[in-house]
């Protein structure tokens, strides 16, 4: 038996260890409260992460985080020449009025002679969530179907569940970074460093294509993506071409990929331009 001063020192040390352990457990539980478990395999995995709710009563912020093995990629909302976009099912959630998936700027990804659109590294897709009853937690349940590719493409799925309160989260910084990568919506012709200046149809030489002229910072590589008015359109990925006015860069894509019965005349297309850390989205009408 240890008594006296040594005994008191041992008791104090054990007490400190106990407090430390309880603090670590508490921190671990707090971290676990703002993220679901990872669901996936060695190639990819996904989870939900929680964010806060703005003071103005706006949507609760959250995100779908997808982790990719080095050398693998996954797809954007429009995959380009090949691939399938992620599909989200939130139907089993509780106290959920609506959820909007936001898409950080993607990149061009060569894939067996084709050009696909997606993410070649880990990515967070931000979510904007509106509860059915304000002030009450949202139990978010997600079933995610997506695809990942290296030399071969394979389907993947993940299930995740997370209770969202809108309180403080340890994921604020990464969510804010992902939100900052979501293209800014701008009208045609507007923009500071990056802007879509003009969009016109070209029928010279019997061709039917769209010409897009963009302004961008000097010596900056631009990627441009075109989407039709609905998900069943499959427009080609625009390619850089010569002929732009001085100070601009020109892209072109063939008018191809409309679903049966659809007309290009008057169709609204979305153009997403990415140049370095800048990204914009412009919706315009084809006349």
Please, are residues 250 and 222 in contact by the beta-carbon 8 Å criterion?
no
Which of 78, 71, 72 shows the shortest CA–CA distance to 238? Answer: 78
Residue 57 lies in a domain: yes
| Final residue in a domain of this structure, among 182, 198, 225 | 182
d(CA 243, CA 59): 45
User: Does residue 113 belong to any structural domain of this protein?
Assistant: yes
The residue among 140, 158, 182 that closes a domain is 182
**48-57, 73-82, 143-152, 256-265, range with the lowest pLDDT:** 48-57
Whether 11 is in a domain gets the answer no
Same domain? 170 vs 211:
no
Residues 110 and 149 in one domain: yes
Q: What is the CATH number of the domain that holds 263?
A: 2.60.40
**Coil, strand, or helix at residue 81?**
coil
Give the percent of the chain with pLDDT over 90: 77
Residue 21 lies in a domain: no
**Residues 154-183: tens digit of each pLDDT:** 999 999 999 999 888 999 999 999 999 999
108 with 238, same domain?
Answer: no
- What would the mean pLDDT of 259-272 be, rounded to a whole number? 95
Distance from C-alpha of 34 to C-alpha of 22, rounded to nearest angstrom: 19
> Based on the structure, what is the number of domains in the chain?
2
Prediction pTM value: 0.86
Shared domain check, 165 and 147: yes
Of 182, 213, 235, which residue is a domain's last?
182
Helix, strand and coil in the chain, % to nearest 5: 15, 45, 40
Same domain, residue pair 254 and 165: no
Q: Is residue 27 part of a domain?
A: no
Tell me if 164 is assigned to some domain. yes
Kindly give the pairing relationship between strand 195-202 and strand 209-215.
Answer: antiparallel
Looking at the fold, whether 136 and 231 belong to one and the same domain comes out as no
Same domain? For 101 and 132 the reply is yes
Q: d(Cα 69, Cα 151) in Å, to the nearest integer?
A: 13
Clarify whether residues 137 and 221 are in a common domain.
no
Residue 273 CA to residue 106 CA, distance in Å, equals 10
Q: Residues near 131 by Cβ (< 8 Å), separated by ≥ 6?
A: 60, 95, 96, 97, 137, 138
Domain co-membership, 167 together with 202: no
Residue 246 lies in a domain: yes
Residue 126 and residue 83 in one domain:
yes
Instruction: Enter the tokens of residue 236.
Output: 């080609």
256 and 176 inside one domain: no
Domain range for 61 is: 39-182
Q: What is the pLDDT of residues 88-127, one digit of tens each?
A: 999 999 999 999 999 999 999 999 889 999 999 999 999 9
pLDDT in tens, 14-55: 343 343 333 333 333 334 489 999 999 999 999 999 998 876
> Do 170 and 202 belong to one domain?
no
């Amino acid at each position: 038996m240890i008594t006296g001063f040594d005994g008191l020192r041992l008791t104090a040390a054990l007490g400190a260890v106990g407090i430390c352990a309880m603090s670590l457990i508490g921190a671990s539980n707090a971290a676990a409260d703002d993220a679901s478990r990872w669901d996936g395999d060695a190639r990819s995995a996904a989870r939900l992460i929680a964010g806060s709710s703005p003071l103005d009563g706006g949507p609760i912020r959250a995100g779908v985080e997808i982790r990719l093995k080095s050398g693998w990629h996954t797809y954007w909302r429009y995959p380009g020449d090949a691939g399938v976009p992620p599909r989200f099912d939130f139907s089993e959630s509780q106290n959920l009025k609506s959820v909007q998936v936001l898409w950080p700027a993607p990149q061009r990804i060569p894939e067996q002679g084709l050009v696909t659109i997606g993410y070649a590294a880990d990515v967070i897709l931000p979510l904007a969530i509106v509860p059915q009853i304000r002030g009450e937690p949202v139990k978010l349940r997600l079933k995610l179907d997506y695809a990942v590719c290296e030399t071969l493409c394979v389907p993947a799925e993940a299930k995740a569940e997370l209770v969202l309160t809108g309180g403080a989260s340890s994921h604020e910084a990464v969510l804010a970074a992902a939100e900052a990568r979501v293209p800014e919506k701008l009208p045609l012709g507007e923009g500071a460093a990056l802007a879509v200046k003009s969009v016109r149809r070209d029928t010279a030489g019997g061709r039917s294509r769209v010409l897009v002229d963009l302004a961008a910072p000097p010596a900056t590589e631009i990627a441009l993506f075109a989407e039709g008015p609905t998900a069943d359109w499959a427009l080609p990925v625009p390619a850089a071409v010569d002929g732009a006015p001085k100070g601009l860069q020109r892209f072109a894509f063939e008018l191809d990929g409309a679903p049966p019965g659809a007309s290009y005349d008057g169709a609204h297309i979305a153009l997403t331009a990415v140049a370095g850390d800048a990204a914009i989205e412009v919706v315009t009408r084809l006349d």
